[in-house]
Structure 1
Amino acid sequence: MASLFTFYTICNLFLFVFLFSIANHSRARQHPKTSDSLVLGLTNIRRTIKLPKISSTLSIKVSSQSPPTLDMMEPLRGVRDGYLISLNLGSPPQVIQVYMDTGSDLTWVPCGNLSFNCIDCDNYTNTTPMSKFSPLQSSSCVRDSCASEFCINVHSSDNPYDPCSIAGCSLSTLVKGTCSRPCPSFIYTYGEGVVAGTLTRDTLTVHGSADGSVTREVTNFGFGCVGSSYKEPLGIAGFGKGPLSLPSQLGFLQKGFSHCFLAFKFANNPNISSPLVVGDLAISSKEHLQFTPMLKNPMYPNYYYIGLEGITIGIGSGSVIQVPTNLRDFDSSGNGGMLIDSGTTYTHLPEPFYSLLLSELESVINYPRATEVEARTGFDLCYRIPCINNVTNAMTTMDVDDHLLPSITFHFINNVSLVLPQENNFYAMGAPRNSTVVKCLLFQSMDNEDYGPAGVFGSFQQQNVEVVYDMKMERIGFQTMDCASSAFKQLIKR
């Protein structure tokens, strides 16, 4: 088995010749159903923008004398700039930290019995704890077959014979469906990163929320065992609509999930966490939220799109900026709409609308610009904000001075108005100096491309907002709330 994994590691290195020319597009399929729910753990980390990338039946067994519960939970811990889930993979379980990403389908982990090769990852590996999965240390780990539905999807093939043909199966075994060769290595692309790996099956273990003694083992869980990557040092738990995604494999895609992202100020705090809830519990008793419909994109059906109709600067009689129609509609090629993506850090808006937003903000903010900070950070609007009572703690200043800057309200389809929490707009770039603190607008412009989404609603703007993905009703709900307080109340209940 060791020689087999060595062989495929070598193959992965050769595959990197094609890293920038191959993209993956998954398709929606039918999914297994169950009435259970999961509450999984998230931590904060950083991701950059991605554009769209392009089932086997699983068994769940309860390894405890207690009856199955309707929800499951693992701790959510903050790091910075994004959100991580702890996956317990293998027999015995190996704990792997991966991004929670609503903007992709494939779940993959850094993988290698000896090493995991990550190109251009120094900026990440020097500041971020890394963990990798070792197939040889798991007694239940197997390579997926070329004939499995997951293999067909990861290779974006409409012809089920294609992956087996690539694997070297003979024509007679293809016709008879008897070829059992492993699924060929794949390449999966993101906005800036690329990964190469092999499709693998193993046991995924999740823990009960009641007292932690109830565990569930999801056998034959399909994921990418990635041995080589470019700018992708940590794994990803895909939460898209495709059959490879984590909620799809767990049988919850016909129900939904929800999350409440902690504010960045709790990054690296091991004592506080917030829930990612999957299943019935995520969507029950949520009718008080504001819901906007999920837009259906026929070309990219596995991603979550919403329609943005306008942005208001200020409260009450603030100015409303009308957005271009491509932020709420698609063209014949599936381009347009606003992608809601936990794997993209900041909200991105198209030009010239983005520049118009900047002009409106400049017209109502009278504080001095910090142009040298703008040049250093790449953010477009940075201001020197006076500190109240000469506060010297950066995090405290960030809280008490937010009211000095205008609010920003997003207006989505179906009369949904989401007033972004003030800390989701401008962020302190450091500690106060000379009774002022520099705060920058953490929005960015979309790349000037003619394809993909017109805008992206990123994770930074989703802080302290409960976001509910109601898959049954095909809608997404929003409610501002203190995610840290909510998490603390849940901890007390446990």
Structure 2
Amino acid sequence: MTHPSMFDTIFNFLLFISLFTIANHTHARQQPKPSISDSIVLGLTNTRTTIKLPKESSTLNLKVSSQSSQTFDMIEPLREIRDGYIISLNLGSPPQVIQVYMDTGSDLTWVPCGNLSFNCIDCDDYPNNSPMPKYSPLRSSTCTRDTCTSQFCVDVHSSENAYDPCNIAGCSLVTLIKGTCSRPCPSFVYTYGEGVVAGTLSRDTLRIHGSSDRDVTRDVTNFGFGCVGSTYREPIGIAGFGKGSLSLPSQLGFLQKGFSHCFLAFKFVNNPNVTSPLVIGDLAISSKENLQFTPMLKNPMYPNYYYIGLEGITLGIGSGSLIQVPTNLRDFDSSGNGGMLIDSGTTYTHLPQPFYTQLLSQLESVINHPRAKDVETRTGFDLCYRVPCINNLTDGMTIMDLDDHLLPAITFHFMNNVSLVLPQGNSFYVMGAPRNSTVVKCLLFQSMDDKDYGPAGVFGSFQQQNVEVVYDMEKERIGFQTMDCASSSALQQLHKS
């Protein structure tokens, strides 16, 4: 049980930090090679402030621990769970394997941390059958507490004044001016849409394994991360893939290059035999000119997020009707509000009102199947239909995709004439086993919260399934290409050996 005083403390922290939150980041979890290889290949299973680059003293050291190969192509087994995509971090000396969410909508990497316990408040909705491993600082010979003079400490405290964290830590004015204070970085609180975490900023060695030879490892020393001992509604850690200096690709030195991922369909949830490819570095962006690329929109107020511009949505294939979207899905106001956030840490795509209601009305007008309003009430989704099962093809909870054509295709039109037809199963999803030769499918879109700040919409991970998504940081663009991500995983040799 959670002690009431801890509960009150967390909420007081949340109230305080919310006054400084730059955007209401919605975590709706309810997941040929270049001639000179400088990449990391990882497998996926199915706050935020503009600060100067880390000081020289914070520079990370990279080393290859095997002399058998000079390649920097790397691989890690990562898996899909019910509400996101998990990356395994090998952290510490000796390495401790900690599983965390891969999140393009935040910067900080943090892990559940505790030598004795980890406290998660209001996390009853998450299964406790197989609790996630926790990182123990005492078990690592290379773990250190970050200092208040570290630029990462300034970052995590969202401070524009480098003296602030050291002042909070109790350094004297003389040591502040001389830069001689060596006190540890003060504890921080980091907020998400519905959650909050509290912890300390630490450093340790991050180890990544070779893509072709598991004996080849790459050690990243002084990797900065949050050692979190208490959370509210955040039971699993996070690997931040945003643009800030605290993010995983930034600390690995790949932020000026890019990364890509190909999320497995949800039918592979908890399947230990296949993972989603996550590639970081040259390999992620080389030979990708066949993709459709839309520009990354620049938001001067919140530059660490990935924004794209949505121009319209089409229902049906070919002569389907185009629904014009509000301009705030591709434009920002003077306060930085607007645009569409592309976010692997948000499960479902969110659209603003009243456009979201208009989209529902258009879908209702072209779908003739009976509504399953009882399922809508139970699940909270807004459009559910009873769809005939073709040839009664079922396999337990798995339904063949042959009946997907009974519901309209949905195409997203992004800026630069990019048209992404959402793969079958990315819009309407099976909500249970078939009954009486029918199956219930629900539209897995949601309405944005009723607010006038933050992004106007979010392109979530569920709608990115079976789509290769390329973050080309050098050319400041994001590419899309539909593909079978399970086959891509096999080509990347990400199946369990």
For 2:62 and 2:293, locate their aligned partners in 1 and report how far apart those are by CA, in whole Å: 32
SS class of match (1:287):
coil
Alignment match, 1:226: 228
Deviation at 1:112, TM superposition (A): 0.5
The 2-side partners of 1:392 and 1:14 are apart by 50
Q: Give the Å deviation of 1:123.
A: 1.2
Point out the more displaced range, 167-176 or 396-405.
396-405
AA partner of residue 103 (structure 1): G
Structure 2: gaps (5+ residues): 24-35
- Measure the CA separation in 2 of the matches of 1:15 and 1:445: 28
Match of 2:464 among 462, 465, 488: 462
Give 2:370's aligned amino acid.
P
Distance 1:69 1:108 in 2: 28
Aligned residues of 2:274 and 2:494 also touching (Cα < 8 A): no
Q: 1:159-182 deviations in whole A, cap 9, x for unaligned?
A: 111100000001111111000000
Classify the secondary structure of the residue corresponding to 1:309. Answer: strand
SS at match of 1:469: strand
- The equivalent residue for 2:416 is 414
Amino acid at match of 1:80: R
Q: Does the 8 A contact of 1:68 with 1:214 survive in 2?
A: no
SS in 2 for 1:276: strand
Quote the RMSD (CA, aligned, Å).
2.0
Matching of residue 349 in structure 1 with residue 364 in structure 2: no
What is the SS of the residue equivalent to 2:394?
Answer: coil
Aligned to 1:105: 107
Structure-2 change in CA distance of 1:265 and 1:245 (3 Å): same
Answer whether contact 1:205 1:216 (CA < 8 A) is retained: yes
Quick one: structure 1 residues 35 and 224, their matched pair in 2 at CA, closer, same or farther if it must change by over 3 Å?
farther
CA change 1:16–1:141 in 2 (3 A) is farther
CA distance in 1: counterparts of 2:82 and 2:103, whole angstroms = 15
TM-score (normalised: structure 1): 0.92
Q: Residue 149 of structure 1 aligns with which residue? A: 151
For 1:246, the equivalent position in structure 2 comes to 248
**Amino acid across the alignment from 1:21:** F
SS of structure 2 residue aligned to 1:87: strand
Alpha-carbon contact 1:200-1:225 (below 8 Å) kept: yes
Shift, 1:11, TM fit: 10
What is the correspondence of 1:148-167 to structure 2 with a 5 Å cutoff? 148-167=150-169
Q: TM-score, normalised to structure 2's length?
A: 0.92
Distance 1:492 1:121 in 2: 31
| 1:18 counterpart letter in structure 2 | F
Cα distance in structure 2, aligned partners of 1:238 and 1:280: 20
Say whether 1:268 aligns with 2:270.
yes
Aligned counterpart, 1:39: 41
Distance 1:70 1:13 in 2: 47
Distance 1:216 1:477, change over 3 A: same
Distance in 2 between the 1:84 and 1:174 partners? 40
Larger mean Cα displacement after TM superposition, 12-21 or 183-192: 12-21
Q: Of 12, 15, 19, which aligns to 1:20? A: 15
SS at the partner of 1:422? coil
The offset of 1:273, in angstroms, is: 1.2
* Structure 1, unpaired ranges of 5+: 1-9, 28-33, 45-51
3-state DSSP of counterpart to 1:423: coil
Q: Is 1:138–2:133 an aligned residue pair?
A: no
Contact in 2 for aligned 1:394/1:428 (Cα 8 Å): no
Give how far 1:68 is off.
2.5
Asked if residue 190 in structure 1 is aligned to residue 185 in structure 2, the reply is: no
1:362 partner letter: E
* C-alpha distance in 2 between matches for 1:15 and 1:348: 27
Give the Cα–Cα distance (whole angstroms) in 1 for the partners of residues 183 and 139 of structure 2: 22
Tell me the residue number matched to 1:381.
Answer: 383
- Which of these residues, 160, 182, 202, is aligned with residue 180 of structure 1? 182
Aligned residue identity for 1:22? I
Match of 1:3 in 2: none
Q: What is the CA–CA distance in structure 1 between the aligned matches of 2:134 and 2:22, rounded to whole Å?
A: 25
State the Cα distance separating 1:392 from its structure 2 match: 3.1
Alignment correspondent of 2:205: 203
- CA 1:13–1:257 in structure 2 vs 1: closer, same or farther (change >3 Å)? farther
Is the Cα–Cα contact under 8 Å of residues 256 and 472 in structure 1 kept in the other structure? yes
Give 1:219 deviation, angstroms. 0.2
Distance 1:352 1:398, change over 3 A: farther
Alignment of 1:303-318 (within 5 A): 303-318=305-320
Aligned partner of 2:65 among 63, 66, 84: 63
- Shift, 1:462, TM fit: 0.1
Is the counterpart of residue 215 in structure 1 residue 217 in structure 2? yes
> Counterpart of 2:84 in 1: which secondary structure?
coil
1:146-193: CA deviation from partner (whole Å, max 9, x where unpaired): 000000111111111110000000111111100000000000000000
Deviates more, 1:374-383 or 1:386-395: 386-395
Alpha-carbon distance change, 317 to 236 in structure 1, aligned in 2, over 3 angstroms? same
1:49 counterpart residue number: none
Query: CA 1:397–1:324 in structure 2 vs 1: closer, same or farther (change >3 Å)?
Result: same
**Identity, % of aligned positions:** 79
In structure 2, what is the Cα distance between the partners aligned to 1:396 and 1:376?
21
Matched, 1:291 2:293: yes
Paired residue secondary structure (1:197): strand
Is contact 2:393–2:400 with CA below 8 Å preserved after alignment?
A: no
* Residue of structure 1 equivalent to 2:28: none
Which residue of 361, 370, 373 corresponds with 1:368? 370
Decide which moves more: 386-395 or 294-303. Answer: 386-395
* Matching of residues 325-344 of structure 1 within 5 Å: 325-344=327-346
Work out the CA distance in 2 between the residues paired with 1:380 and 1:13.
34
CA drift of 1:18 comes to 1.7
Equivalent residue of 2:75, what SS?
coil
CA 53–450 in structure 1, closer or farther in 2 if over 3 Å, else same: farther
CA contact (8 A) 1:112 1:132 kept: yes
Query: Structure 1 residue 410: deviation in Å?
Result: 0.1
